[in-house]
């Protein structure tokens, strides 16, 4: 029974790893750069694993989320900057995910995505309002596993495995692309794998699911097995684009193009799986982003929060979530290009990663909080290494965004 | 500064020395039933003639937090908080130290939080005027 629960959790983590950021950045980089940027995806995933484990451990041991402790440990001004940055970025991401849900529905129905966006916004809000946390996580996570179709597609396509392997071990931009553009997509892949709000969400989810020290094994299985396998789905989307999109010069800048390899390989069935996977991945991330706006606000100001209490017992939390969904829906409805919005939000997100890492690293080292579950040497070595890398990518993010005009 | 005040009922376990900054400020507050009531936004100190200053109350609300943020943002937050308070009284909600029943690294639990407490009024207003009007809120 325990094993079943852990397996289910891991499968949920795999399906839940991918969101609009991964779909867009993997699709474009596969189409334009082959697998020369796999290192960036790997770096981002490593950061997500290391800091996800830390955030989860803090939550399980102290029964407090990481954002809860930011103000207490790092002061009211740092916490306020962190709060404002987190909410702004999470809203951008939410808008991008809603656009993604709309595009997935457009692929299925041929009805313009803009008509689907308000429906998606309402469905996201309703899920927050009424659907129990575990149901929401499990159903959407498992549906997200439909993206395995891209792994299957790889074996049906004329995949040149040798060339793919060669790309991975020779990371440099192809002759037709500039170094700046290549690095821009590298930063975007890091940011897609490592979305700051997902760490706050993972930590808050631990409270929603009532983790304790006994659940550390299950939490670690999610982080150590679920996240890397989730990244494998991203990798498959990237690799499947190489034999299909690159030869004909399709840039992967539309969700339909990202799904094309599945259609070429497996026909209608491939298309169906791809659409279900796109929908589940973006819808789950939209719900998580919307909840995260409420989580961080409530944890900063010390309100009651969460789906484990009825909405009327966490009125301020639910009002923030509702306002977040309305604002993000409005942003998407301005007809801003969802793919462009996704790229901007993941790259700005990369710039904010150190702001998220720093408090987690501090709290995971606090023995008063963590007792003998505080970071050991190995966790700190990895943590500090990832932090240093995140500072470098953070500094590079905005200049690259401007120089390349968001990867044009 | 020391906050080792004797409390009338359950004795509190406190470290031998502690400063209010790490022990009290920005710590999560709960009432006796475990409902969150906010964070410790500031402290009220009294300066008795015969001895060092003592913490007499925990202060809550934007009019306590605003001055700690400082600058324009802090002033705006303070003014917003003042407008929302009955009679526009800028003095924040206070919880006397004698009402503190649990004090540890992760939380402060207090008793006797009145319904007029600012955080409770905001929560109640939003509950009645927004949340309870949407079907399925309870």
What band does B47 get if pLDDT is binned at 50, 70 and 90? confident
In 3-state terms chain A splits into helix, strand, coil percentages (rounded to 5) of 85, 0, 15
The C-alpha atoms of residue A325 and residue A304 are separated, in whole angstroms, by 20
Q: Do A368 and B105 touch (CB under 8 A)?
A: yes
| Sheet with B54-60, edge to edge strand ranges | B42-46, B54-60, B93-96
Q: Which chain A residues contact residue B127 at CB under 8 A? A: 312, 315
Q: Is A396 helix (H, G, I), strand (E, B) or coil?
A: helix
* CB spacing of A312 vs B127 below 8 angstroms: yes
Interface test with A, best of B21, B26, B71 (most A CBs within 10 A): B26
Given a cut of 90, is residue A115 above it in pLDDT?
Answer: yes
Average pLDDT, stretch A121-145?
93
pLDDT > 90: percent of chain B: 53
pLDDT of residue B21: 72
Q: What pLDDT was estimated at residue A69?
A: 84
Q: Residue B54: phi, psi to the nearest 5?
A: -120, 150
Q: Quick one: how far is CA B54 from the chain centroid? A: 16
Q: Does B130 touch chain A (CB under 8 A)?
A: yes
Contact A315 B65 (CB under 8 A): no
Model pLDDT, residue B13: 57
Q: Does B104 touch chain A (CB under 8 A)?
A: no
Cβ-based contacts under 8 A for chains A and B: 70
A311/B134 Cβ within 8 A: yes
| Residues of B whose CB is below 8 A from A79 | 26
Query: Among A237-241, A368-372, B78-82, B99-103, whose mean pLDDT is lowest?
Result: A368-372
CB-side neighbour CA atoms (13 Å) of A55:
30
Q: What are the tokens at A124? A: 């996201």
3-state secondary structure A199-213: HHHHHHHHHHCCCCH
Strands laid side by side in the B108-110 sheet: B36-39, B28-31, B108-110, B100-103
CB contact under 8 A, A76 and B68: yes
Using alpha carbons, select from B41, B22, B49 the residue that is nearest to residue B91.
B41
Average pLDDT, chain B: 85
Task: Give the residue from chain A lying closest to B35, CA to CA.
Answer: A304
Give pLDDT, residue A199.
92
Give the residue from chain A lying closest to B124, CA to CA: A315
- Contact across the interface for A310 and B105, Cβ inside 8 Å: no
Condensed to tens digits (0 to 9), the pLDDT of residues A161-199 reads: 999 999 999 999 998 899 999 999 999 999 999 998 899
CA distance, residue A392 to nearest chain B CA (Å)? 29
Residues of A in contact with B25 (CB under 8 A): 72
Name the band, by pLDDT with cuts 50, 70 and 90, for residue B48. confident
Out of A303, A305, A318, closest to residue B131 by CB: A318
Q: Find the CB nearest A302 among B28, B124, B127.
A: B28
Predicted local distance difference test score (pLDDT) of residue B22: 74
Nearest to A76 among B29, B38, B65 (CB): B65
Nearest to B26 among A76, A312, A315 (CB): A76
CA distance B69 to chain A (A): 6
Tell whether B20 lies on the interface with A, counting CB pairs under 8 A. Answer: no
- Mean pLDDT for A281-298 is 95
- Tally Cβ neighbours within 10 Å of residue A246: 17
Q: What whole-number distance in Å separates Cα of residue A132 and Cα of residue A208?
A: 10
pTM for the whole structure: 0.93
Angle (CA) A83-A87-A90 rounded to 5° is 135
> Quick check: B39 pLDDT over 80?
yes
pLDDT in tens, A337-387: 999 999 999 999 999 999 999 999 999 998 888 889 999 999 999 999 999
The pLDDT score that the predictor gives to residue B8 is: 42
| CA atoms lying within 13 Å on the CB side of residue A141 | 22
Q: Chain A: nearest CA to B79, how far in angstroms? A: 17
* 3-state class (DSSP) for residue B29: strand
| Band (B3; pLDDT cuts 50, 70, 90) | very low
Residue A50 pLDDT:
96
Q: So what's the pLDDT on residue B16?
A: 58
Say if residue B9's pLDDT is above 60.
no
State residue B4's pLDDT score: 37
Q: What is the pLDDT of residues A2-44, one digit of tens each?
A: 788 888 888 888 878 999 999 999 999 999 999 999 999 999 9
Contacts (Cβ under 8 Å, ≥6 apart) of A77: B69, B70
Query: B37 — contact with chain A (CB < 8 Å)?
Result: yes
B83 in contact with A, Cβ within 8 Å: no
Taking alpha carbons only, the member of A287, A364, A300, A294 closest to residue A51 is A364
Average pLDDT, chain A: 93
Mean pLDDT of all residues in B19-30:
84
When scoring A74, A308, A312 by the number of chain B Cβ atoms within 10 A, the one with the most, hence best to mutate, is A312
Smallest Cα distance from B22 to chain A, Å: 8
> Is the CB of residue B84 less than 8 Å away from at least one CB of chain A?
no
């Amino acid at each position: 029974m325990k094993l079943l629960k852990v397996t289910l959790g891991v499968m949920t983590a795999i399906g839940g790893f991918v969101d609009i950021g991964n779909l867009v950045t993997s699709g474009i980089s596969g189409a334009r750069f082959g697998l020369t940027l796999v290192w960036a995806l790997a770096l981002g995933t490593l950061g997500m694993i290391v800091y996800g484990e830390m955030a989860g451990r803090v939550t399980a041991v102290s029964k407090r989320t990481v954002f809860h402790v930011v103000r207490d440990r790092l002061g009211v001004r740092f916490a306020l900057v962190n709060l404002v940055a987190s909410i702004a970025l999470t809203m951008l991401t939410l808008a991008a995910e809603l656009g993604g849900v709309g595009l997935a529905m457009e692929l299925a129905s041929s009805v313009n995505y803009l008509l689907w966006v308000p429906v998606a916004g309402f469905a996201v809000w309703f899920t927050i309002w009424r659907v129990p946390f575990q149901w929401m996580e499990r159903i959407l996570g498992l549906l997200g596993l439909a993206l395995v179709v891209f792994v299957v597609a790889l074996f049906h396509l004329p995949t040149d495995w040798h060339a793919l392997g060669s790309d991975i071990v020779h990371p440099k931009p192809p002759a037709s692309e500039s170094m700046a553009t290549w690095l821009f997509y590298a930063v975007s892949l890091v940011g897609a794998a490592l979305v700051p709000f997902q760490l706050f969400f993972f930590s808050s989810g631990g409270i929603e699911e009532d983790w304790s020290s006994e659940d550390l094994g299950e939490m670690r299985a999610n982080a150590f097995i679920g996240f890397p396998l989730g990244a494998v789905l991203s990798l498959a989307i990237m690799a499947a684009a190489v034999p299909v999109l690159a030869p004909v010069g399709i840039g992967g800048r539309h969700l339909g193009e990202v799904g094309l390899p599945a259609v070429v390989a497996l026909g209608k069935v491939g298309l169906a799986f791809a659409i279900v996977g796109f929908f589940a991945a973006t819808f789950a991330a939209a719900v998580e982003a919307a909840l995260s706006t409420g989580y961080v606000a409530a944890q900063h100001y010390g309100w009651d929060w969460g789906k484990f209490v009825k909405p009327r017992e966490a009125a301020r939390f639910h009002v923030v979530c509702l306002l977040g969904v309305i604002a993000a829906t409005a942003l998407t409805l301005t007809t801003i290009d969802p793919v462009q919005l996704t790229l901007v939000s993941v790259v700005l997100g990369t710039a904010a990663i150190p702001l998220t890492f720093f408090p987690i690293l501090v709290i995971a080292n606090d023995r008063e909080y963590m007792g003998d579950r505080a970071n050991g040497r190995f966790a700190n070595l990895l943590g500090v290494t990832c932090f240093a890398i995140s500072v470098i990518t953070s500094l590079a993010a905005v200049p690259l965004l401007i120089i390349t005009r968001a990867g044009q | 500064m020391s906050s080792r005040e004797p409390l009338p009922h359950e004795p509190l376990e406190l470290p031998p020395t502690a400063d209010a900054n790490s022990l009290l400020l920005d710590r999560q507050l709960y009432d006796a039933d475990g409902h969150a009531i906010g964070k410790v936004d500031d402290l009220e100190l009294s300066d008795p003639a015969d001895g060092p200053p003592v913490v007499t109350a925990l202060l809550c609300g934007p009019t306590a937090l605003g001055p700690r943020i400082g600058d324009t943002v802090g002033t705006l937050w303070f003014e917003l908080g003042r407008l929302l308070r009955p009679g526009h009284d800028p003095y924040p909600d206070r919880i006397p130290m004698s009402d503190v029943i649990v004090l540890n690294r992760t939380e402060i639990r207090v008793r006797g939080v009145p319904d007029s407490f600012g955080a409770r009024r905001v929560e109640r207003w939003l509950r009645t005027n927004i949340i309870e009007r949407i079907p399925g809120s309870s």
